[in-house]
Amino acid sequence: MERSIRAVEGTPHLRGGHPPFKGGDLEMDIFFATALAVLGFVLASLGIINRILKKLNESVRLLSKLRTSLRLFNKKKKDKADSLPRQGS
């Protein structure tokens, strides 16, 4: 029994103190953060991010128009169904 308790005490992930990456190297964390920052800067300087944002904005605008059209279509369909005489027994 004592042996298993010591095994648990010796494992950082069971004590709740594990680092973000398995190796736990601060240098790796800094490297990845720097790489992401450089990649973002390069993409921004090339204007790629601007193009992506413009396309997304255009897509959102088109989806909004489609949603409005569908809402109007469904409203007209409902109004037409309400105006028809009901057949009951």
Within a domain: 89? no
Residue 26's pLDDT band, with cuts at 50, 70 and 90, is confident
- What is the reported pLDDT for 22? 57
Residues 29 and 34: their CA atoms lie apart, in Å, by 9
Within a domain: 32? no
Number of domains in the chain: 1
Within a domain: 6? no
Q: Indicate whether 65 pLDDT > 90.
A: yes
- What is the reported pLDDT for 44? 84
List % helix, strand, coil for the chain (3-state, nearest 5).
80, 0, 20
Domain that residue 61 falls in:
47-81
Within a domain: 17? no
- What is the reported pLDDT for 24? 62
Q: Indicate whether 14 pLDDT > 70.
A: no
Most confident of 19-23, 27-31, 44-48, 63-67: 63-67
Top-confidence residue, 86 or 29: 29
